[in-house]
Amino acid sequence: MQNVTNVSVNGTSNKSLSVIIRVCVVVPLFCIFFFCIVVMLHIFASHRQFLDTSRYILFVSMMINDTLQVMFSVLLFLLVMAQVRFALGLCFPLLFISTATFKNTPFILATMSLERYVAIFYPMQRPAAWCSDRIWIIILVLWLLSCMFPIIEYSIGQRDPAVNTFFTPVLCQSTTVNSSPIQALFRTAVNVLSFSIVAIIIILTYVRILLETQKMKQEKRTVSKATHTVLLHGFQLLLCMLAFTMPITETLIVIMVDWLPEYIAFFNYFCFALMPRFLSPLIYGFRDQSLRTYIGKTFIFCPHKIESSDRGQLKEKCQV
């Protein structure tokens, strides 16, 4: 009897230690990511010239979107790790925001690529919707589109009688709310279709800019930077698509390594869902020369300011 008790205590202790380690890995990285995002958002809010450029407005939208996605994803992760059960009516909004922001990222990436295309091919007569004072309309449409999918997915599902009311305490996971086969089929179809369309848009935009490089009257340096930016959007999309490799990696891990299911789930979540979201906005933000200059001055407290000529390069002129 004593041996059984010792085994039970040791098992519980090992499980608690495992949970603590996983939490200690995720939370510090989230804090670093959140700090970097706050610094960049502070720079955007403090310098009006960034908010006069459609490209930077879209980037701010992507940062806010990815920050919400990571924040709610980490919150759901911590709640599951702590085995916290609460009403389904509170769980659904958390899952809704997490899902909508996940869908929204590729849409924003495609829009940013199209914005570079418009900026290169229509520099002086940019369509009104792509000007900095109206780009918010496109951003609003993207948010409405990304929010529509989780609502439809939830609406077409078959309700489990055990969790049929909003007051039923549940462990807040996607499988709890969206567990029926029709929902899984709809979710897969939407993900494949949306990511495929976005990938095609990014590839065509990149190829078109690349082919037209020799015909442009603008400086080759400007066109070259645009092609590199669109290529970076493709890399960011690839990072987002890593989340879809989870079934494959899970199968490979089961074959090669004898891990517990919760360890495999955490490895997939951390490497293929969380880290790409950490890296995507940070790579784009620190790559931008103007933003990187302000970030450097923020951290080293450099007293001199950007020259007015650099500021003028950020500002758009829309002639509609």
283-320 residues labelled b (16+ CB within 10 A) or e (exposed):
ebbeebebbeebbeeeeeeeeeeeeeeebeebebebee
User: Taking a C-beta distance cutoff of 8 angstroms, is the pair 232, 113 a contact?
Assistant: no
Phi, psi of 87 (to 5 degrees): -60, 140
Per-residue pLDDT tens listing for the chain (320 residues): 434 334 334 445 666 787 888 888 888 989 988 998 888 888 888 888 888 888 889 999 999 999 999 999 999 988 888 888 888 888 888 999 999 998 898 899 889 889 888 888 887 777 877 888 889 999 999 999 999 999 998 888 766 666 556 777 888 888 777 777 888 888 888 888 888 898 899 888 888 877 776 666 555 666 667 777 788 878 877 877 777 766 677 777 777 777 777 788 788 888 888 888 888 887 877 777 778 788 777 766 544 444 444 444 445 545 44
- Residue 284's H or E segment, with its range, is helix 275-287
> Which CATH code fits 2-85+105-133+197-296?
1.20.1070.10
User: Taking a C-beta distance cutoff of 8 angstroms, is the pair 78, 161 a contact?
Assistant: no
Q: What is the pLDDT of residues 63-92, one digit of tens each?
A: 999 999 999 999 998 888 888 888 888 888
- What lies within 8 Å, CB to CB, of 95 at 6+ separation is 76, 150, 172, 174, 177, 178
Could you give the CA distance from residue 63 to residue 57 in angstroms, rounded to a whole number?
A: 10
Domain ranges of the chain: 2-85+105-133+197-296
| pTM for the model | 0.82
